[in-house]
Amino acid sequence: MPATEEPPMKKMRGDLPTDDASLALLDKVYDVQKELDEVHNKAAEEIVQVEIKFNKLRTPMYEKRAKAIAQIPDFWVTTMLNHPIIAESLAEHDTEILTNLTSIDVVENEDIKSGFSMEFKFKKNPYFKNESITKKVTMNEEGDNILSEISHSIRTVRRTKDMKEICAPEADEGFVSWLQSEVDPEMDDIGNLIKDDLFPTPMEYYNAQIDSDEEDEEECE
């Protein structure tokens, strides 16, 4: 009986070609790929330099925006409640606590590649004494988030069992828990959404409340 021919896909998974013509072609592919990698690396570095330049331009604008936002009651809690993903991560107790959040500031390290920090400022409130809490994320040379640190733990005002549980570092749900926990940055959905989405474009989510209010008014007319 004639030998059964190997399926084509099985051949593709076999040894690499060894004939001179194929090896010469592979060498060409390898050489071109090296050139492409150099271009990719150069492009990535130039993108970083552009980001550094524009971060310096953004900083005074963020400061100007922050002063205006500070005068709008419940601005940040509104944006968070209107954000479709962040809202899902908020625990029942978070909303009342977040009405005291007056400022969010995200600052990338000067070289961008080594990390960033997020600072959350609070007005005087009946829950905890901290005026601000900062989370810092450090990145390695490959650009991977490798460490998340907090400035200090929350110092509660209410000495009740409920508040102690809410603000405990080991609490497993809610924004307050996330705020003071050293979570794995690679799994830090809240932090990444705040840095890359909520902080740069908060009006997109605050306006959702305005649009909703206008729709309600139209329905009542």
Summary mean pLDDT of the chain: 80
| Whether 24 and 103 share a structural domain | no
pLDDT in tens, 35-62: 999 999 999 999 989 999 999 999 999 9
pLDDT grade for 10, boundaries at 50, 70 and 90 = very low
Per mean pLDDT, which of 6-10, 20-24, 150-154 is the most reliable? 20-24
pLDDT grade for 13, boundaries at 50, 70 and 90 = low
pLDDT grade for 166, boundaries at 50, 70 and 90 = low
Of 107, 93, 99, which Cα lies nearest the Cα of 52? 107
| Whether 110 and 208 share a structural domain | yes
Q: Which secondary-structure segment (H or E) carries 108?
A: strand 101-108
| Whether 134 and 209 share a structural domain | yes
Residue 122 covered by a domain: yes
Residue 44 covered by a domain: yes
Of 148, 151, 161, 152, which Cα lies nearest the Cα of 192? 148
| Whether 54 and 77 share a structural domain | no
Quote the pLDDT of residue 71. 94
Quote the pLDDT of residue 125. 87
On the question of pLDDT at 191 being above 70, the answer is yes
| Whether 129 and 203 share a structural domain | yes
Better-scored residue on pLDDT, 173 or 12: 173
| Whether 145 and 64 share a structural domain | no
Q: Which secondary-structure segment (H or E) carries 56?
A: helix 20-69
What is the domain range of residue 61?
19-69
β-strand partners of 121: 103, 132
Number of domains making up the chain:
2
| Whether 185 and 142 share a structural domain | yes
Please return the burial class of 93, using the count of CB atoms within 10 Å of its CB with bins 0-12, 13-18 and 19+.
buried
| Whether 54 and 112 share a structural domain | no
| C-alpha dist (Å) from residue 219 to 174, 198, 206, 211, 212 | 34, 29, 21, 13, 11
On the question of pLDDT at 170 being above 50, the answer is no
Residue 155 covered by a domain: yes
On the question of pLDDT at 77 being above 90, the answer is yes
| Whether 152 and 212 share a structural domain | yes
Quote the pLDDT of residue 189. 83
Residue 142 covered by a domain: yes
Long-range contacts of 53-60 (CB under 8 A, 24+ apart): 55/108, 55/112
Mean pLDDT, residues 190-206? 94
| Whether 30 and 100 share a structural domain | no
| Whether 27 and 98 share a structural domain | no
Phi/psi-derived region of residue 185, left when phi > 0, alpha when psi is between -120 and 50, beta in every other case: alpha
Q: Residue 206 sits in a domain of what CATH number?
A: 3.30.1120.90
Quote the pLDDT of residue 87. 94
Residue 14 covered by a domain: no
Non-local (6+) Cβ contacts of 161 within 8 A are: none
Residue 174 covered by a domain: yes
Residue 91 covered by a domain: yes
The reply to whether the predicted model has a pTM over 0.85 is no
| Whether 26 and 114 share a structural domain | no
pLDDT grade for 138, boundaries at 50, 70 and 90 = confident
